[in-house]
Chain A
Amino acid sequence: GENVEQHPSTLSVQEGDSAVIKCTYSDSASNYFPWYKQELGKRPQLIIDIRSNVGEKKDQRIAVTLNKTAKHFSLHITETQPEDSAVYFCAVPGAGSYQLTFGKGTKLSVIP
Chain B
Amino acid sequence: DAGVIQSPRHEVTEMGQEVTLRCKPISGHNSLFWYRQTMMRGLELLIYFNNNVPIDDSGMPEDRFSAKMPNASFSTLKIQPSEPRDSAVYFCASSFGGRETQYFGPGTRLLVL
Contact = CB atoms under 8 A, between A and B. Distances in A.
Chain B interface residue number, banded: 20 to 34
B104 A100 contact: no
Contact of A45 (B42, B98, B100, B104): B104
Contacts, number: 50
Given A44-B91, A105-B43, A97 B99 contact: yes
B107 A99 contact: no
B55 to A, nearest CB: 5
B66 interface: no
A43 interface: yes
B101 A49 contact: yes
Contacts of B82: none
Given A98-B50, A99-B45, A105-B42, A93 B101 contact: no
B48 to A, nearest CB: 6
Interface in A91-109: 91, 93-94, 97-100, 102, 104-105
A46 interface: yes
Contact of A99 (B33, B91, B105): B33
Contacts of B101: 34, 46, 49
Contacts of B97: 98
B102 interface: yes
A89 interface: yes
A39 to B, nearest CB: 12
B99 A99 contact: yes
A83 B42 CA distance: 22
Given A97-B99, A100-B98, A100-B102, 13 more contacts: A32-B100, A34-B101, A43-B104, A44-B91, A49-B101, A97-B55, A97-B98, A98-B31, A98-B48, A98-B97, A98-B99, A99-B56, A102-B42
Interface of B: 31, 33, 42-43, 45, 48, 50, 55-56, 91, 97-107
